[in-house]
């Protein structure tokens, strides 16, 4: 029996609309994603989810800046106080070509602060965002607790997802970096080296940034070419980490249209690199937006390929926490998630 964690409070973030590739569309990252995953796990004979334990805000500061956490906590109230309704979205950003990025003060417009802390226009903040993001993070932290207590395999149904969130920024539907928080918790529980393997369709720029200069946490990712896909600015193969983290980041970008035949060799390469790193615990950033029917993605994995993916990951023989990331074919994500978990089971 694979224990898994989820709180209904994680449904509280329901964002309305996002700007995606030039069009305003209903948010893809909706609470119903979690409902369908829950239903699929029930169908597959999984037990009911465990409630996340409340670790408070302190562990969030292991991976995020205090001013960023404070901003997210009051962002929606600040938005309302500025006289607006609906969802809070930035529309102006400091360009990399020289607009100064000054520290924000309470005097700065809410639009300045949104543009300072967010990197895209697809991640609305609403009244329930803090609550959902907070409990999504607690769900990941509780999953790490279970591993530390000797559970070999657990699933954290994190929603909203996390791998695009960095120390001081959010975006890409992500607020807190759930997988990074879990990895950091496992480090503190005594694992000298931890690996995060990210199989979401999109590059986990936030996770990469957080561990860029650290050799103790390996970050490996298989994702769509940044030349064609979000987050566009990173995830290239030549990004391999720096300082103590030199060589502890592995990016394996693949072209649109990649199916299991193209995916499997990359997965094997990532597993070999993980072994060489010497991690004793594994966090999987699981996006099932690599499925052929995903509405915003371009890989071609089939439902049965996800079981094979799980079986491959199991070959590492490490205590494993699976953390939910993306997957937007809402009614179909659950079966793919269940297949990965079943494949991972010994």
Q: How far is the CB of 203 from ligand OKP (least distance, A)?
A: 8
| Helix H or strand E segment including 18 | strand 17-20
Q: Which residues are catalytic?
A: 164
Ranked by CB distance to ligand OKP, the top (closest) residue is: 326
Please report how the helices 260-277 and 303-314 are oriented relative to each other, as an axis angle in degrees rounded to 10: 20
- Cα angle for residues 329, 330, 333 (degrees, 5° grid): 75
> How large is the greatest C-alpha to C-alpha distance in the chain, in angstroms?
56
Q: What DSSP letter does each residue of 37-71 carry, written as one string?
A: HHHHHHHTTPPPPBPPP---SGGGGGTS-HHHHHH
3-state secondary structure of 272: helix
Q: How far is the CB of 231 from ligand OKP (least distance, A)?
A: 8
Q: How far is the CB of 249 from ligand OKP (least distance, A)?
A: 17
Stretch of 131-139, 250-258, 301-309, 324-332 contacting Zn ion, by CB under 5 A: 324-332
Identify the DSSP state of 242: -
Ranked by CB distance to Zn ion, the top (closest) residue is: 326
Of the pair 144, 329, the CB lying nearest ligand OKP is at 329
Contact 211, 180 (CB under 8 A): yes
| Helix H or strand E segment including 218 | strand 217-224
Q: How far is the CB of 20 from ligand OKP (least distance, A)?
A: 5
Q: Does 326 bind Zn ion (CB under 5 A)?
A: yes
Which does residue 122 bind out of Zn ion, ligand OKP, none, counting CB within 5 to 8 angstroms by kind?
Answer: ligand OKP
**Contacting residues toward ligand OKP, per CB under 6 A:** 20-21, 122, 161, 164, 172-173, 200, 202, 230, 287, 289, 296, 325-326
Which does residue 173 bind out of ligand OKP, Zn ion, none, counting CB within 5 to 8 angstroms by kind?
Answer: ligand OKP
Of the pair 29, 145, the CB lying nearest ligand OKP is at 29
- Locate 313 and state its tokens: 């990951």
List phi, psi (to 5°) of 241.
100, 170
Q: How far is the CB of 297 from ligand OKP (least distance, A)?
A: 8
User: Could you give the string, one character per residue 198-237, with x where binding to Zn ion holds by CB under 5 A and - elsewhere?
Assistant: --xxx-----------------------------------
- Locate 108 and state its tokens: 């700065």
How far is the first Cα of the chain from the last one, in angstroms, to the nearest whole number? 11
Contact 331, 295 (CB under 8 A): no
Stretch of 19-27, 285-293, 304-312, 314-322 contacting Zn ion, by CB under 5 A: 285-293
Judged by CB under 5 A, the residue of 59, 287, 310, 334 near Zn ion is 287
Contacts with Zn ion by CB under 5 A lie at 200-202, 287, 289, 326
């Amino acid at each position: 029996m694979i224990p898994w964690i989820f709180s209904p409070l994680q449904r509280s973030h329901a964002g309305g609309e996002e700007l995606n590739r030039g069009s305003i569309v209903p948010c893809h990252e909706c609470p119903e994603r979690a409902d369908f995953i829950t239903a699929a796990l029930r169908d597959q004979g999984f037990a009911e989810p465990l409630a996340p334990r409340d670790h408070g805000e302190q562990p969030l500061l292991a991976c995020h800046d205090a001013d960023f956490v404070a901003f997210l906590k009051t962002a929606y109230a600040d938005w309302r106080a500025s006289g607006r309704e609906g969802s809070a979205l930035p529309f102006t950003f400091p360009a990399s070509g020289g607009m100064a990025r000054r520290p924000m003060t309470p005097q700065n417009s809410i639009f300045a602060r949104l543009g300072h802390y967010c990197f895209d226009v697809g991640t609305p903040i609403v009244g329930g965002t803090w609550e959902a993001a907070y409990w999504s993070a607690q769900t990941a932290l509780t999953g790490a607790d279970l591993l530390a207590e000797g559970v070999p395999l657990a699933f954290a149904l994190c929603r909203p997802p996390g791998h695009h969130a960095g120390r001081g920024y959010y975006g890409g539907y992500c607020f807190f970096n759930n997988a990074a928080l879990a990895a950091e918790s496992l480090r503190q529980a005594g694992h000298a080296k931890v690996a995060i393997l990210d199989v979401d369709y999109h590059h986990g720029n936030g996770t990469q940034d957080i561990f860029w200069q650290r050799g103790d946490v390996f970050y490996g990712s298989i994702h769509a070419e940044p030349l064609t896909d979000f987050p566009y600015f990173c995830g290239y193969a030549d990004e391999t980490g720096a300082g103590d983290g030199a060589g502890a980041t592995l990016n394996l970008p693949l072209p649109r249209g990649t199916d299991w035949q193209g995916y499997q060799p990359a997965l094997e390469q990532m597993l070999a690199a993980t072994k060489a790193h010497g991690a004793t615990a594994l966090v999987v950033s699981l996006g099932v937006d690599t499925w052929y029917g995903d509405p915003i993605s371009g890989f071609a994995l089939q439902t049965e390929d996800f079981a094979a993916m799980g079986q491959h990951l199991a070959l590492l023989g490490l205590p494993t926490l699976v953390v939910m990331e993306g997957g937007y074919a809402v009614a179909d994500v659950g079966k793919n998630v269940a297949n990965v978990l079943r494949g991972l089971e010994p």
